Amino acid sequence: MLTFDFFYDLGSPYSYLASTQLAGIAQRTGAQARLLPITLGGLRKATGHQLPPPQQLKYMSEDTARWAKQYGVPMQIPRAFPVSTIRALRACLAAEQHGQGDKAMHALFRTYWGEGNDISDPSTIEGALNAAGLDGKALVARTDAQEVKDALRRNTDQALARGVFGVPTIFIGERSFWGNDRLQFVEAELRRVVG
C-alpha cells in the first residue's frame, strides 16, 4: 500500500486543518498517511526560527477561519495559545503503539482547535482520548515512558534530517510539500505515483 508521511504538531492550526483532509485524500488515492508527531519548538530551536510576530498571528487567525469554513470543520484560536504540546504528542505516539495514533491525533486536534481546550493539561488530554473511545488514563500514563519520549525525539530528529522547517510537512517518497495549502499538490503527486 502506498503511504505518505505527515509530520505535524498539535499546536499548529495548519496541521489541524490538513489533518481533517487526510481521510478524503486516502479515499480518493488509496494512499494512507503515516502520522509523525514532532515538536515544532524543537524544530524552531534547531533551525533558528522564532515565534511569529503579532501581525502574522492576527493574519493566521483570519486565514485559518477561512480554511475551516472551506473544509466545513470547527475552528477557533484556543484560550491557551500557544501551549506545550509535548505530553499530548507523546499520547499520540503511545496510542500509535496500539494502532490508534490516528484516533488520538484527531481527538486531540479536535479538543484544541475545535473546542479551544488546553491540551497541555493532562486531564484535558485524558478526557479527549476517552471521548474518542481510547483509554485516556493509560495513554497519559504512558507519556512518561522513556520509549515514548525517545520516539518523539526520533521523529523530530528525522524531520530535521529530511529538511522539515515547519508543519504540516508531507513527504511522498523524498518530495516534500509544506503547508495545508499544498494538499492539492500532494493529491496530484499521489495520483501520479499510483499511475
Residue 83, SS3? coil
| Catalytic residue list contains 12 | yes
Q: Which of 77, 110, 83, 87 is nearest to 37 (CA)?
A: 87
Which one-letter DSSP state was computed for residue 75? Answer: -
- Identify the H or E element spanning 37: strand 32-37
CA nearest to 125, candidates 156, 94, 158, 153: 94
The three-state secondary structure class of 6 is strand
- The rounded distance, in Å, linking the Cα atoms of 178 and 167 is 7
Q: 173 Cβ partners below 8 Å, 6+ apart?
A: 193
Cis peptide before 122 (omega within 30 of 0): no
Query: What is d(CA 15, CA 95) in angstroms, rounded to the nearest whole number?
Result: 19
Q: Which residue numbers are catalytic?
A: 12
